[in-house]
Amino acid sequence: MYVGIPKESDALETRVAATPGSVKEIVKSGLKVNVESGAGIKSFISDDDYVNAGAKIVDSSDELLKNADIILKVLSPSQNEIDILKENSIFISLCQTTRELEMVRQVTKKSITAFSMHLIPRTTLAQKMDALSSQANIAGYKAVLIAASRLGVYMPLLMTAAGTIRPSKVLILGAGVAGLQAIATAKRLGAQVEAFDVRPVVKEQVESLGAKFIEVESDENDGVGDGGYAKETSEDYKKKQQELIHLHISKSDVVITTALIPGKPAPLLIPTTMVESMKPGSVIMDLAAENGGNCELTQKDKVIEHNQIIIDGTSNLPGSMPVHASELYSKNVAAFLTYMVKDGQLNLDLEDEIISGAIYSHKGQITHEPTKTLMDKEG
């Protein structure tokens, strides 16, 4: 069976779905790997690097796609790619199916078996396949560095001959993987860090990193959903949450928002009035921009200024660190792919929790229920 690694069709995407290291693992499993020429160039990987790892270089994207049994990508398939792919081929990428319904419709129409790395279940066995976490780690780290570069003040406490400089105050909204990495990075830079999350269970993790956990008093399971993810909270909780965030945000130099609810738009945590209560020169990094943003003023992939507050809606922060982002993502994908390979052949065990959790299209049917439900509503 042939695995194809095409160039990403989005000119702004710097990551690649396979590195020489992951190619070696895939070849070791008994599969053959073809890589489109130049696929790794934005991650500083040459064609020769892939050849030395056991891959064959293919000059034409069309040739690679039409001959591949399995395709690995970062982003979702474009319509042009779907048109070229063989029926019943396998496509693995990092896509949000509930936000890309037309793509899902076209993939299903072509009878492509498609998997999303977004849908990998959070289980112990699937940890090494968890692409969301590997990319979120980078986003949390880079968000702090970008915010620090935009501030007009120091991050750490400084004792100078001219006087003492107070440390910056950083507020993290959402203490998942990205939020925890943001806490750790801000602490390393010497900032005073506070963090909020609707899940009380993360308090210990936040405090272990040296940050102060701020919380709303409520039913302890109010914001806890399936798999440890956040879920929508009650109206009473939301009111208390807004009051609490408003109190702390007005004193913060940097706010980093990471709050997401699987399959739904990002919750609104920072309305315009709250932004306007912040100190001039403050920075908001909205890591939920791709899903609508946690700040009312966020514009996806734009950096704007409102009332002297900088609001950054960059949606692909992992792409700003393509070397490690590609290295980690490719390890996740290779782990998932080789998990399904037995004796050089793909073994699609649809009773397997990981495989059934990640698949969203198979034999002309949509297999991911939340996506199917949304499509049915659209008619």
Give the end of a domain, one of 316, 340, 366: 316
Residues 254 and 272 in one domain: yes
pLDDT at residue 264, rounded to an integer: 86
How far apart CA 28 and CA 55 sit, in angstroms, is 11
> Is 194 strand, coil or helix?
strand
What does the alpha-carbon distance between residue 263 and residue 268 come to, in Å, rounded to a whole number?
Answer: 15
Please tell me which residue in 37, 105, 122, 150 is annotated as part of the active site: 122
Catalytic residue (choose from 46, 60, 79, 127) = 127
The token pair at 176 is: 């998942």
Residues 158 and 303 in one domain: yes
Domain boundary residue among 296, 316, 336?
A: 316
Q: Which of 209, 74, 203, 201 shows the shortest CA–CA distance to 140?
A: 209
270, 287 in Cβ contact below 8 A?
no
What is residue 377's predicted lDDT score, i.e. its pLDDT? 85
Residue 185 sits in the same domain as residue 312: yes
339 and 291 together in one domain: no
On the CB side of 348, CA atoms within 13 Å amount to 14
What pLDDT was estimated at residue 319? 97
Q: Which of 37, 69, 111, 229 is catalytic?
A: 229
Q: 45 and 148 share a domain? A: no
Residue 253 one-letter amino acid:
D
Active-site residue (options: 9, 111, 133, 277): 133
Q: Is residue 122 domain-shared with residue 149, that is, in the same domain?
A: no
Number of domains the chain contains: 2
Residues 176 and 204 in one domain: yes
- Known active-site residue 199: no
Residue of 95, 87, 285 lying closest to 186 (CA atoms): 285
Give the pLDDT score at 216.
Answer: 83
Q: Which of 88, 84, 81, 86 is nearest to 103 (CA)?
A: 81
Residues 201 and 331 in one domain: no
pLDDT of 116:
98
Q: In this predicted structure, what is the pLDDT of residue 166? A: 94
Q: Is 2 a catalytic residue?
A: no
**Domain extent at residue 105:** 2-129+322-378
Domain boundary among 265, 293, 316: 316
The residue annotated as part of the active site, out of 130, 253, 286, 312, is 130
Q: Are residues 243 and 266 in the same domain?
A: yes
> Structure pTM?
0.92
CATH number for position 277:
3.40.50.720
Q: Strands, E, within the chain: which ranges?
A: 2-5, 32-36, 56-58, 70-72, 90-93, 113-116, 158-160, 163-165, 169-173, 192-196, 212-214, 254-257, 283-286, 303-306, 309-312, 341-342, 345-346, 359-362, 365-366
Q: What is the pLDDT along the chain (379 residues), one digit of tens a residue?
A: 999 999 999 999 999 999 999 999 999 999 999 999 999 999 999 999 999 999 999 999 999 999 999 999 999 999 999 999 999 999 999 999 999 999 999 999 999 999 999 999 999 999 999 999 999 999 999 999 999 999 999 999 999 999 999 999 999 999 999 999 999 999 999 999 999 998 888 999 999 999 999 988 766 555 555 555 555 667 787 888 888 999 999 999 999 999 998 878 999 999 999 999 999 999 999 999 999 999 999 999 999 999 999 999 999 999 999 999 999 999 999 999 999 999 888 999 999 999 999 999 999 999 999 999 999 888 6
The answer to whether 96 is a known catalytic residue is: no
pLDDT tens, residue by residue, 209-220:
999 999 887 665
Say yes or no: 73 and 149 in one domain: no
* 150 included as an active-site residue: no
Residues 338 and 312 placed together within one structural domain of the fold: no
Examine the domain organization and report whether 312 and 326 are in the same domain: no
